[in-house]
Amino acid sequence: MARSQQRKLFDEAKLPPEDEDAGLYAQVVFNRPLRESFTYAIPVDMVGKILAGKRVLAPFGRGNNRTTGFCVGVSEEPPTTQKLKSIAAVLDEAPLLTPSMLRLTKWIADYYACGWGQVLDAVLPHAVKQRSGTRWTVFLQPVPEEKRPEAKLTAKQQRAFESLIDLKRPATIKELAQSARCGADCIKALVTKGWATSERRRVHSRPPVLAPIVWDRPRALNPHQKAAVDAIGGAIRDGIAKTFLLHGVTGSGKTEVYLQSIAEVVKLGRETIVLVPEISLTPQTIERFRQRFDEVAVLHSHLSDVDRHWHWQRIARGEVQVVIGARSALFAPCPNLGLIVIDEEHETTFKQETTPRYQARDVAAQRSRLENVPLILGSATPSLESWLAARQRRIELLSLPERVENLPMPRVTTVDMRHEYRSGARALSGVLRRAVIETVDAKGQVILFLNRRGFSTTILCPSCGHVESCEHCEISLTFHKKLDRLLCHFCDAEFPVPSRCSSCGLPSIRYAGIGTERLEEEVTALFPNYRCARMDSDTMRSAPHYDKVLTAFRRGEIDILLGTQMIAKGLDFPNVHLVGVVTADTGRNIPDFRASERTFQLIAQVAGRTGRGQTPGRVLVQTFNPDDPAILAATKHDYHRFVNEEMPTRKEFGYPPFDSLMRVIVRAKDEEVARHASKILAARFRACLSEFPPGAVRVLGPAPAPVAKLRDHYRMHFQVHSRQPALRQKLLEMAIKDLQLPGDTEFTADVDPISMM
């Protein structure tokens, strides 16, 4: 049927005048940093169409510009006697957000100090809002016999009507015409004569093509795994909101515990959300889960908009058993959720660094409570927040202290690079070079970990000491040899490679520091006969790239895999016999109270990538600080030792997990304006402290941020500490009420910050 004919079947009703409302009112929020909702009158012809969870078009602001907002409630009582503006249009056929998801997003807005509309806009993928990959299609269905009109049908029309009945479902015009062997005019006559009703629906034009499945059987559990599965299974069957911390050494079989727990959820006809921290883990994770379950959906940023929307719709219809994805998959619209799993729960990638700045682990706990489902937090190196919660019995600890099949933990040795550099060593020490040769010659594989990308991390002038920095940020530039450019890893700005020092003008440029690009060059020069591949954000631009490299590594087509933290966790390759940590000191000395924790976690996680087969694994950790407590604990695979050394310091200075922390960042294009505004804001916070018990809330600062200039804005920050998050939230609301900051100043409240940079 031609488009003009389709439109005639579905003439849009004209919008009524604004004063023709139905006595019903919609509460609407917009994608703005506003805490309140706005009330609009619902026109008569929109009654029943405007529901909580749908998007609407409404006049907003003094200019009454039509703006997209979210309906969060419908009521019969207006909040005022003044005349209200009316909703202009409804944008969605069905609610995009369930009542429980509306409650969850409201909690996020309140806890993380941002607008509810900002949260709603963030949790809905762009592909869903744009209805990517769908088109309007007309569907027909027969009118019930008792309601059929007297109008007679022709023979062709009768045949078409009988075909429609035989299909036993709504049919498109095209498939009905093919089934009845008639034209579009014949089908249209069924509607105009009243024998069939028609409606327009959005349908997907093409679903993604999935690879064939090789099924896998559940594996035998050791006693520790069985105890964990039994405990989780009881909470699943009881339908209670209980959080479990699954603490298992690397290679202890945490994934098998997840799989067998999810099988219990599937038996009950419910769904599970599984969050993984890195896109690089997704292909391997998807493969393992698809080997056990019929319907697995994937949600992550490397999907096309069409595929992402297709998966989202399947989830919303209840056609999916397991949803796998990165942080945002937590908001998947599961209609009958039964379990949430967060693998590697300690990972910093679970914290959103833009508004809304939520921590997925804490939001998952809130969704668990709202929907009465268990939550599993899995890690070999749990966050100190989760560990303290388990120690205080606020969540239940499940331990997997042994590797599956009683495989030994890898032997870890530190290499003191102070001695190596005196003898002129390059990125790889003599010890590590010899170990690589021994491993590959014995048909084993090697992983080399370096958490810095690029070729050289510093470009300096030995004559005057100047370091080339980004003109938009106070951060040193990184040289990328393949691009022949200097890059800022904060704002992504690019600059030409200088031939002379930009400060003194002398041609004495020196390249210092090492990134993965330079490491790859050194490795290929040292081992020309070995097959090497690099995994970092420069080489891995999409999910297929990850999958291709990891598949080749699994097949033994790559001898040495080197890369950043994306290779440090979650990957399981039994033939990896050696792991080399090229420098363990990369993040140890940054001004951040979590630096020690991150160092321990990264080394422990990357060390766990080896020794997963029958051949014992070996780990070499190159460091200039071999006596550092975090490094020593990681080399001993001793999480408890690290916790016992780190916790007293955190408690003494009132940092998480003991105090709740909020970081307030003030920024402006003028340095003096930023400094002045930060003093004003910090003073307002301190002025409100008299309303709280002595010592209940502390304000520290302001001071320049460690990265004092970022994207052409100067940055100051201060900290708000409190044992009770509610007090911290109340202080924020009091301090910013009627706030007026000078000039173009902006401020951000980062609740439970994961980075202090």
Phi, psi dihedrals of residue 379, rounded to the nearest 5°: -170, 150
Two structure tokens written together for 638 = 């001793």
- First-to-last alpha carbon distance for the chain, in angstroms, is 60
Distance in angstroms (rounded) separating the CA atoms of residues 695 and 511: 49
Report the DSSP beta bridge partners of residue 274: 324, 341
Distance in angstroms (rounded) separating the CA atoms of residues 384 and 395: 13
Q: Give residue 711's region: left, alpha or beta (phi > 0; psi -120 to 50).
A: left
Two structure tokens written together for 696 = 């209940």
Residue pointed to by tokens 């008792």: 146
Is 532 annotated to bind a ligand? Reply is: no
Distance in angstroms (rounded) separating the CA atoms of residues 636 and 391: 22
Distance in angstroms (rounded) separating the CA atoms of residues 574 and 543: 23
Half-sphere exposure of 749 (CA within 13 A, CB side): 24
Q: Are 382 and 246 in contact (CB under 8 A)?
A: no
Two structure tokens written together for 114 = 């941002």
Phi, psi dihedrals of residue 612, rounded to the nearest 5°: -95, 0
Q: Are 697 and 641 in contact (CB under 8 A)?
A: no
Q: Are 600 and 644 in contact (CB under 8 A)?
A: no
Give the β-pairing of 713-722 and 660-668: antiparallel
Secondary element (H or E) of residue 577:
strand 576-581
Q: Are 546 and 540 in contact (CB under 8 A)?
A: yes
* Alpha-carbon dihedral 18, 19, 25, 30, rounded to 10 degrees: 20
Distance in angstroms (rounded) separating the CA atoms of residues 592 and 655: 11
Nearest of 598, 744, 319, 191 to residue 311 by alpha carbon: 319
Two structure tokens written together for 81 = 């006697």
Neighbours of 421 (CB within 10 A): 12
Two structure tokens written together for 132 = 């990517």
Two structure tokens written together for 565 = 């933290």
Is 688 annotated to bind a ligand? Reply is: no
479: amino acid identity, one letter: F
Q: Give residue 314's region: left, alpha or beta (phi > 0; psi -120 to 50).
A: alpha
Number of H helices, E strands in the chain: 22, 30
As a residue count, the chain comes to 757
Is 186 annotated to bind a ligand? Reply is: no
Q: Are 722 and 751 in contact (CB under 8 A)?
A: no
Is 334 annotated to bind a ligand? Reply is: no
User: Can you list the positions of beta strands (E) in 612-696?
Assistant: 618-623, 660-668
329: amino acid identity, one letter: A
Nearest of 473, 449, 450, 469 to residue 458 by alpha carbon: 469
Sheet of strand 196-204: strand arrangement: 171-172, 134-142, 196-204
Q: State the binding site.
A: 461, 464, 470, 473, 488, 491, 501, 504
Residues in the annotated binding site for Zn(2+):
461, 464, 470, 473, 488, 491, 501, 504
